[in-house]
Amino acid sequence: MSSTQPAADLNVPDLIQKKRNGETHSAAELSALIGGYTRGKVPDYQVAAWLMAVCWRGMTPQETGDLTISMAESGDLLDLSSLPHTVDKHSTGGVGDKTSLVLTPMLAALGLTVAKMSGRGLAHTGGTIDKLESIPGWNAELSDEAFLEQAREVGLALVGQSRNLAPADGLLYALRDVTATVECLPLIASSIMSKKLASGARSIVLDVKVGAGAFMKTVADGEQLARAMALIGQHAGRNVRAVLTDMQAPLGRLAGNSLEVQEAIATLRGQGPEDLHRLCIELAVEALTAAGFSDNARARAESTLHDGSALAKFRAFVAAQGGDPAYIDDPGLLDVAPGRAEVLAETGGFLNSVDALSVGRAVLVLGGGRERKGEAIDHGVGVELLVKPSEAVVAGQPLLRVYHRQERGLERALDLLRSGVGIGATPPDAAPLILGRIG
């Protein structure tokens, strides 16, 4: 991969034709195209045609890397070099995935520095910033100085994507969203990694979700994406490790913003659901290994969830960004919508599936997510899994609990949840949580 100046003689139809014919772009061509688009010199309709050609023809690893560098360099590049052992973590998006809320304070308690940009939820997937904003007073915007200072003092600072980091990705993502070009491996890999490279951390841990609730539906696709992203990071001189994890059913038992903060705090107290607890330990081990501290990593990661050190970091982080720590001490104070409704088992047997996509969509229609950027959301609504896949159930037993506000979206949410539940006569084959690793 190389960084180049935009070519002066940019001919976009030639580039579209080249990709349409399955040819390979040079770094200069990609830089010119991305630079031109970011500056408003290339219209959406030409880039849309080019994106579709990329979806059909693909990109070589070299092209994907060059595209990523051009996107990363389309805005500011954060300089974290003054901070010790910087590590970033990214999930490709899931349902009930509150891992960042637990993992990042664990890493800070272990002596690493997390200075990270996080996203809001989009479509059926949740976002870390939305979850944190259910804590009264917590603020996702920090000046550059405050961000670096907090990272140095607390070891953990999380901000929203308001900075001028990888602006080309923002533009391209919005265009991909409306031109059926989101699900395309080189475009997903470059989108994620451009933001990671611009964010400046030396080590990067990627949680690549696979299954019904994820972009990648099969392990083979997830592995390809993980390898592509790891290669980009390695070429850019970063330590990258990726873990492929199951997203067939939601992670943990709670989905919805306030509810997920409550479950994250329980996990930080060592009392979280088994799958979430285990995933946080696995990712912490990967992060420690990436940062060069693999000795005794598992035991050290585990101890942060039992000795109060990760919880203390989370409390300090929330307070540093204006949040009221009383809500961390007593998460029952968080606003949870008062309405309750339940989905009951129609027959007895074993719970074979709870479709993550259906749960994510149910939270969305209840008002807990947004269908359009910038929409206000209700942090208090959500869904609780009263039973997890493979557990035995009897007819009439409540399986899922809906937390709703004045029945907004309730009927639709219940329909979605009912359609996503499967009960069988025998337990399903045990689905492993960790589906693979790329290091």
Q: Which residues are catalytic?
A: 90, 169, 176, 191, 195
- Pick between residue 122 and residue 417 the one whose CB is nearest to ligand URA: 122
Looking up tokens 């037993």 gives 397
Residue 195 Cβ vs ligand URA, minimum distance, rounded to whole Å: 6
Among 6, 35, 36, 93, binds ligand URA (CB under 6 A): 93
- Pick between residue 184 and residue 305 the one whose CB is nearest to ligand URA: 184
Give yes or no for residue 99 binding ligand URA (CB under 6 A): no
Cα 285 to Cα 242, 280, 312, 317, distances in angstroms? 11, 9, 20, 22
Give yes or no for residue 54 binding ligand URA (CB under 6 A): no
- Pick between residue 179 and residue 390 the one whose CB is nearest to ligand URA: 179
Residue 344 Cβ vs ligand URA, minimum distance, rounded to whole Å: 35
The answer to whether the CB of 6 falls within 8 A of the CB of 36 is yes
Strand runs labelled E in 295-385: 339-344, 349-354, 382-385
Rg (CA), the chain: 22
- Pick between residue 146 and residue 236 the one whose CB is nearest to ligand URA: 236
Planar angle of CA 391, 253, 338, nearest 5 degrees: 120
Residue 205 Cβ vs ligand URA, minimum distance, rounded to whole Å: 15
Strand runs labelled E in 121-258: 156-159, 203-210, 239-246, 254-255
Give yes or no for residue 68 binding ligand URA (CB under 6 A): no
3-state secondary structure at position 86? strand
- Pick between residue 109 and residue 188 the one whose CB is nearest to ligand URA: 188
Query: Chain-centre distance of CA 102, in angstroms?
Result: 13
- Total residues in contact with ligand URA, by rule CB under 6 A: 8
User: Which tokens hold the place of 112?
Assistant: 């690493």
Question: Distance (Å, rounded) from C-alpha 211 to C-alpha 192?
Answer: 19
Give yes or no for residue 55 binding ligand URA (CB under 6 A): no
The answer to whether the CB of 355 falls within 8 A of the CB of 420 is yes
Of residues 154-193, which lie at the interface with ligand URA (CB under 6 A)?
A: 173, 182, 188, 191-192
Contact string 205-234 vs ligand URA (x = CB under 6 A): ----------x-------------------
**How many residues would you count in the chain?**
439
Residue 208 Cβ vs ligand URA, minimum distance, rounded to whole Å: 10
Residues found near ligand URA in the complex (CB under 6 A): 92-93, 173, 182, 188, 191-192, 215
